[in-house]
Amino acid sequence: MAKVLPPVDVVLVGFGWTGAIMAQELTEAGLEVLALERGGWRDTPTHFPTTLAPDELRFYWRHEMFQDTARETLTFRNNHAQTALPMRRWGSFLPGSGVGGSGVHWNGQTFRFLPSDFVAASHNADRYGPLPEGMTVQDYGVTYDELEPHFDRFEKLCGIGGKAGNLRGALQTGGNPFEGRRSDEYPNPPMEMTFAQKQFAAAAGQLGLQPFPAPSANMSRPYTNPLGVQLAPCTYCGFCEKYGCGNYSKAIPQTTILPVLMGKPNFTLKTHNEVLEIKRDRSGRRATGVTHIDVHGAVFEQPAEIVILCAYPLQNARLMMLSGIGKIYDPRSGEGLVGKNYCYQVVSSLDIFYEDKYTNQFVGAGALGMVIDEYNGDNFDHAGLGFIGGGYLACWTTNARPIETHRTPEGTPEWGAGWKKAVKENFLKSTSVSTHGASMAYAQNHLDLDPTYTDVYGRPLLRMTYDFTPNDRAMTAYLTERAREIAERMGGREIKVNAREGAYDSMPYQTTHNTGGTIMGSNPGNSVVNRYLQSWDVPNLFVMGAGVFPQNAGYNPTGTVAALTYWAADAIKSRYLSNPGPMVQA
């Protein structure tokens, strides 16, 4: 029997970026907010101080910051003809656990989606004709212009370093000429580029392309954000992705929001408490709160006027399924919406090896890079190419962590003395150019509940059915060739192409950019949540995160996730609280 706790105004399920933003916004509005996080507490001086050497075995290979697959994982298959099996070890993507979630171990690459990304279905249909059979791309229901002030807020919260390319409608030299109209310059200048980025920029310029510095949540100088929280300049240590920053130089919830939020009397955080179910009244149209379980096995019922899902997108979808909210998507019949339009990202790369030039990739940061956007979104003519969407091309110097990094030229033995010799000779003299491609939604790629495997509490695991599509394959082949054209001009001795071919493999790391499953849209017939991220079925339930993306753009998602969170929080404060109920009439 669950113990019933005193009610609160708002309960947040999960406490990463979206949870921290939502808690800050709603406590400022005077609401009593409770956040439930199934992982533990994490802060900079305790868990990743500068006195603790970044440990590759501990943080990456032993997955200290990620969800424990022994307690809960997901099952995976490429298609319906296969039997899904549990992922026993994270590989392709790395869901976080604990306070800050995946926002602690991100790289800090903070892009805004293109204006055309938010109207991908209507824009591409208008320009190129009907979408391919089986493609289920749709518009977001919100536009770039509506989200622009919220992008700006997040960039100032995080102290993003970069260079505007479109400032109040005027194109700016050195920035991204394809970006949407910005209301303000970045709060900080770009990071200092290294040899590799300069080679990339020169090569791209030879091809008539317009490189620009990557927007970075790694501080290029000391910064105090609008909440009064201070961040320190990056030391280019190369331990961003998969690690916490002990230098207060990477924008994460702990270095931007929590120092202010944790002292508020109307905010409470409970760690090591996993939400089991969203509770509803007899009508099924109103959430009454959640049930959750602590590490001792005690079960509690937490009443709340508003429930907001702020967990990792895969977990938000699963919790809705386990709670019976919305119909689970069935690709055979096309019925149901929860779990529909699961998307990922399509990436490839080329390694460049130098004979007498040192790249020193160990001097890096998570978002230290030069980028071109000519082949992203609909920035180029797709007529006759056999795909829609695109991606950016970049030269990143994120790290050269010794266990993880061992670029070797074509023809190198896979093990033994020859492999060791090649690693030694090329460790300081290599770099790469990467492609970061969009993922267009198709009917066959989806999430549902596994009929066989369960978690530690006996609940069905989430099942992922996903494979690359013809659109993905044509797109990544095109982008890889464009990257090759740049790599060949970067002055190296030789290059090695790492193409994205064959079926999707869940084991090698690619990106932690899982999207879809709780998609947003214009009506209850095409989406789980409306344009304000409010559930069509249960109006006092809101869903945050990349799960609301109807498809994935060619960028890293965090900036857009944050902008949508601010957008939803503003709607709750300005509209919902004064008139609880659906904010969009079906």
Annotated active-site positions, please?
513
Instruction: Map tokens 């892009």 to a residue.
Output: 111
The rounded distance, in Å, linking the Cα atoms of 248 and 251 is: 8
Whose CA is closest to 227, among 267, 277, 263?
Answer: 263
Is residue 61 within 8 A of residue 509, CB to CB? The reply is: no
Is residue 65 within 8 A of residue 59, CB to CB? The reply is: yes
The rounded distance, in Å, linking the Cα atoms of 151 and 133 is: 34
Structure tokens at 40: 């533990």
Whose CA is closest to 233, among 156, 157, 161, 163?
Answer: 161
Helices 144-158, 558-571: axis angle to 10 degrees equals 110
The rounded distance, in Å, linking the Cα atoms of 281 and 479 is: 51
For residue 273, the Cα-to-chain-centroid distance in whole angstroms is 24
Q: How many CA atoms lie within 13 Å of 256's alpha carbon, on the beta-carbon side?
A: 30
Helices 17-28, 558-571: axis angle to 10 degrees equals 30
Is residue 70 within 8 A of residue 47, CB to CB? The reply is: no
Is residue 513 within 8 A of residue 344, CB to CB? The reply is: yes
The rounded distance, in Å, linking the Cα atoms of 307 and 517 is: 18
Instruction: Give 143-206 as a 3 state SS string.
Output: CHHHHHHHHHHHHHHHCCECCCCEECCEECCCCCCCCCCECCCCCECCCCCCHHHHHHHHHHHH
Q: Residue 280 to residues 199, 323, 544: CA-CA distances in angstroms? A: 58, 9, 19
CA angle 487, 239, 393 (to 5 degrees): 25
